[in-house]
Structure 1
Amino acid sequence: MTLREPPHHETLTCYCDYQCRLPDCVQRYRAWENNRYHAIANGTWQPLLDAEPIRQHLLHLHAAGITIHRVATITGLTYRAVRNFTQHDYGNTAPRKRRVTREVAAKILAVNTRDHTPGNVDSTGSRRRLHALMAIGWPLLYTAQHAGIHPSNRSVIVARPTIRAATAQKITATYDELKNRKPARHGIRPTSIKRAKQQASANRWPPPAYWDETGAIDDPHFEPMYRVTRREIVAHDANWIMRTTGVSREDAANRLGVTKSYIDHAFRDHPEYAVEVAA
């Protein structure tokens, strides 16, 4: 079985769910285990709590207009971590969390309708979801309408840095519903499917499978490397090194661990990065 690459190495998730064995991650897990054993021995261990009160609280917030995206923004938790407590509007594609740590429970329960109102969230995840659906043939016009978005606003959504949290949640619900379906079976014309795929391919927008693999669709700091070749990466890095330090291609090649000829070919294939700074 091929294991997925962890989306990050900041929690125990990479060790437990992805079988990551980087030294820092193993040390973090062992430290957690030691603390747990000592806490059990001292009678201070606090087991996981039932997540049902969290689910009910999130549904209450949602009814008041505070979306999953908004809760994630307020608490500092990831969107996926919050969403997994409830399947509201998301079908049965993933198991719902049944247990929760006291720390996470406290963060979510602290969100209330008095102190927090519906607001804006980062549009990165929504934009990537719309583009990912295009990569498998869903036209932007269709997905926008399916999400209850006026057609005239669809281009605004993918351009703005932030959008309404309620709009983001509608897009997420549409994405979860359509990402495993074939457009041709739902009345989308072949020409529209082809056009959507061609636009996505030209812009190198990753499909849903890529985002399922990385788990970083909502992370604005994650730079997708979908269909990016090693030669393009070298051209990009060499461009940056030469512009910022003023070194020659040969020196840049030494820093990158490649030959000058490799950089020459990389710049030839990707002239947008080609630069001559030093002789």
Structure 2
Amino acid sequence: MTTAVREAPHHNTLTCYTNYGCRLPECVKRLRAYYQNREAALKAGQWHPFVDADPVREHLHMLAEHNITPYRAAAMAGIGARSLHPLFQPRTGRRRAVRHTMRVEIAEKILAVTPDTAAPGRVDSTGTARRIRALVADGWPMRHLSHHMGFGSTYVHQIVQRADKGHLVLARTAGIVAEQYDRLKDEKPSDHGVGRRLINLASNHGATRRWPPTSYWASRMDDIDDPHFEPMYGLTRREIIAHDAGELMRTGGLDRASAAARLGVSKAYIDHAFRDHPQYAVAVAA
């Protein structure tokens, strides 16, 4: 089986060679010149592998206007999304200094991502499913969402079901869902002819499954597409403590007393939390 190579969106930087397999003579010459200049600068102690981050930040804002989140842009560029976090202030939590420079190779990879290059193929369905679930939690029945999104009557339900199994969705589908999410999140289902009974059924369906509504994601849109982000919505404080303690013990090798001290609770509280939520308990020394 062969894998198609996408056409480079431009031939102005090294990414056409490194990311798209371009071997045009002028591009090969540009790459060789880059390494020659780099080698000479290294020897002279003048190599500066960082560039201004503002153009990248502006590029990411432009991509966001086309429903391409920083996480998705990073995935398309083949880099870790966390490398982009310092470019922005967090929407919630403690404020931090914003980075004004970044590594040249990361900047070039992000700048190579355009709305056109991001559209083809399939993408992770996490964000698509989360948007649908949030609208359902707001009272939108899935059949009505299918109608608004131009899908078959059962396709929205299939997207939600398949997301938990790691299925991908067409990038075009993800774009449609993101566009309709932005349109419907501030609308009332009742204003679109949805009856009260169906609204209650949809919202109850979401509540029983702890699906975060659109209000939860309003301050977390940078995370909605990130499959590694775990929404802690609809959980009691004790369950959250059980979850966090389990993670500390599993990944940090802490015992229960140390985990309790880290979380600012007593060891007895951890014991009770694990008793009530044994799925998070870790069998290590108490």
Instruction: Answer yes or no: is 1:253 the counterpart of 2:260.
Output: yes
Candidates 200, 206, 219, aligned match of 2:226: 219
**Corresponding residue for residue 187 of structure 1:** 193
In structure 1, what is the Cα distance between the partners aligned to 2:54 and 2:126?
35
User: Measured at CA, do residues 221 and 248 of structure 1 come closer, stay the same or move farther in structure 2, by a change above 3 Å?
Assistant: closer
Any residues of structure 2 matched to 1:148-163 within 5 Å, and which? 148-158=150-160, 159-160=162-163, 161=166, 162-163=168-169
User: Measured at CA, do residues 219 and 154 of structure 1 come closer, stay the same or move farther in structure 2, by a change above 3 Å?
Assistant: same
In structure 1, what is the Cα distance between the partners aligned to 2:253 and 2:54?
57
> TM-score, normalising length from structure 2?
0.55
Superposed displacement of residue 243, structure 1: 6.3
Residue 238 of structure 2 aligns with an amino acid whose one-letter code is R
Matched residue count: 204
Q: Percent identity?
A: 44
> TM-score, normalising length from structure 1?
0.56
In structure 2, what is the Cα distance between the partners aligned to 1:206 and 1:227?
8
Superposed displacement of residue 139, structure 1: 1.1
Instruction: Answer yes or no: is 1:230 the counterpart of 2:232.
Output: no
Any residues of structure 2 matched to 1:138-149 within 5 Å, and which? 138-149=140-151
SS of 1:233's partner is helix
Describe the superposition over 1:20-43 as per-residue Cα deviations: whole angstroms up to 9, x where unpaired: xxxxxxxxxxxxxxxxxxxxxxxx
Describe the superposition over 1:55-101 as per-residue Cα deviations: whole angstroms up to 9, x where unpaired: 8x999xx9xxxx857x83534698xx9xxxxxxxxxxxxxxxxxxxx
SS of 1:137's partner is coil
User: Measured at CA, do residues 48 and 277 of structure 1 come closer, stay the same or move farther in structure 2, by a change above 3 Å?
Assistant: closer
Residue 210 of structure 1 aligns with an amino acid whose one-letter code is Y
Q: Is the 8 A contact 1:248 1:276 kept in 2?
A: no
Superposed displacement of residue 198, structure 1: 1.1
Q: Is the 8 A contact 1:126 1:172 kept in 2?
A: yes
In structure 1, what is the Cα distance between the partners aligned to 2:157 and 2:197?
21
Describe the superposition over 1:116-162 as per-residue Cα deviations: whole angstroms up to 9, x where unpaired: 87200111111110011011101122112211121232233122331
In structure 2, what is the Cα distance between the partners aligned to 1:58 and 1:271?
40
Q: Is the 8 A contact 2:132 2:156 kept in 1?
A: no
Instruction: Answer yes or no: is 1:264 the counterpart of 2:271.
Output: yes
Instruction: Answer yes or no: is 1:169 the counterpart of 2:171.
Output: no
Over aligned residues, Cα RMSD in angstroms? 4.6
Q: Is the 8 A contact 2:53 2:107 kept in 1?
A: no
Residue 218 of structure 1 aligns with an amino acid whose one-letter code is D
User: Measured at CA, do residues 244 and 109 of structure 1 come closer, stay the same or move farther in structure 2, by a change above 3 Å?
Assistant: closer
Describe the superposition over 1:165-191 as per-residue Cα deviations: whole angstroms up to 9, x where unpaired: 011111111111110011112111212
User: Measured at CA, do residues 275 and 58 of structure 1 come closer, stay the same or move farther in structure 2, by a change above 3 Å?
Assistant: closer
User: Measured at CA, do residues 148 and 258 of structure 1 come closer, stay the same or move farther in structure 2, by a change above 3 Å?
Assistant: same
Gaps in structure 2 of 5+ consecutive residues: 1-51, 85-105
